[in-house]
Amino acid sequence: MEKIAVIGAGTMGNGIAHVFAQNGYPVTLVDVSASQLEKAIEVISKNLERQVGKGTITDAVKTESLSRIKTETDLTKGVADAELVVEAATENTQLKLDIFRQLDAHTSSDCILATNTSSISITKIAAVTKKPGKVIGMHFMNPVPVMKLVEIINGYGTEKWVTEKIIDYTQSLGKTPCAVNDYPGFIANRILMPMINEAIYSLYESVAGVSEIDTVMKLGMAHPMGPLQLADFIGLDVCLAIMRVLHDGFAQPKYAPCPLLVNMVTAGKLGVKSGEGFYFYTPGSKDAVPSSTFSR
């Protein structure tokens, strides 16, 4: 099997490493932090154990999957013999450009370089490399082991065989590929984020409360989670960053982030990751309790 390198051992990175390893690929998980790598392996092990408990995999598959993952803090060593590198670092443009410059210098000429970005231009990322035809977006959904979709984004110069190869990889993971082109927000976030932003505007303008907005979308539109709760799970800082990409990219007022979203991010109310967003999040509790901020 082709060797895979995954850059970044956070939520998305460990999920991507998990699904590749579970499906037979040797994986090197790369992160500058040794403690983050240790945490990632613990998370992958727990998630595999959960699958064993549900009967979707066996203990043997769990053991084999973990044996296929090695960790590395040195990017140069981690990607040296990879046929595919999937970058899953923080959604920060400058950071990703810096990583791709390094990947370009330390991978083989045939190695495909994929990014898990949810909004940053693939063409912009590819432009800092000497092989833009081999750069592509491979946008997994969270949680990676569960969600079936992979949004595959072609940059301006992505070669056709690279797209076809990434489609093959995606299908080999038991996931469904959807190929799109490189415009702000691609498809997933170009549609999702304005909906979330409009829900926040509806709260901001006192059209309805947090629970009411989410209930309408869950029961009326059959969404599994309301847009405000989903924003909390994504991270309000991430939602704001993507809205700014859309607003800058299209220069249209309809993509302007809601002032309430801006204020909440400024105040550090980022959703699940900070313990409060549109809802309160108490460790160990599954109850969705709207923040008291919105009941004043």
Active site residues: 118, 139, 151, 189
Region of residue 31 (left: phi > 0; alpha: psi -120 to 50; beta: else): beta
Cα separation, 151 vs 139, whole angstroms: 5
E strand intervals along the chain: 4-7, 27-30, 69-72, 84-87, 112-115, 135-140, 149-154, 176-181, 279-280, 289-290
Pull the structure tokens for residue 233.
Answer: 């799970």
Cα separation, 33 vs 253, whole angstroms: 40
Cα separation, 84 vs 66, whole angstroms: 19
Pull the structure tokens for residue 132.
Answer: 């833009």
Alpha helix (H) residue ranges in 223-281:
227-234, 236-250, 259-266
Q: Closest by alpha carbon to 153, among 176, 127, 185?
A: 185
What number of other Cβ atoms are within 10 A of residue 259's Cβ? 11
Cα separation, 236 vs 229, whole angstroms: 10
What are residue 188's phi and psi, to 5 degrees? -55, -55
Q: Half-sphere exposure of 111 toward its Cβ, with a 13 Å CA cutoff?
A: 25
Pull the structure tokens for residue 108.
Answer: 């083989």
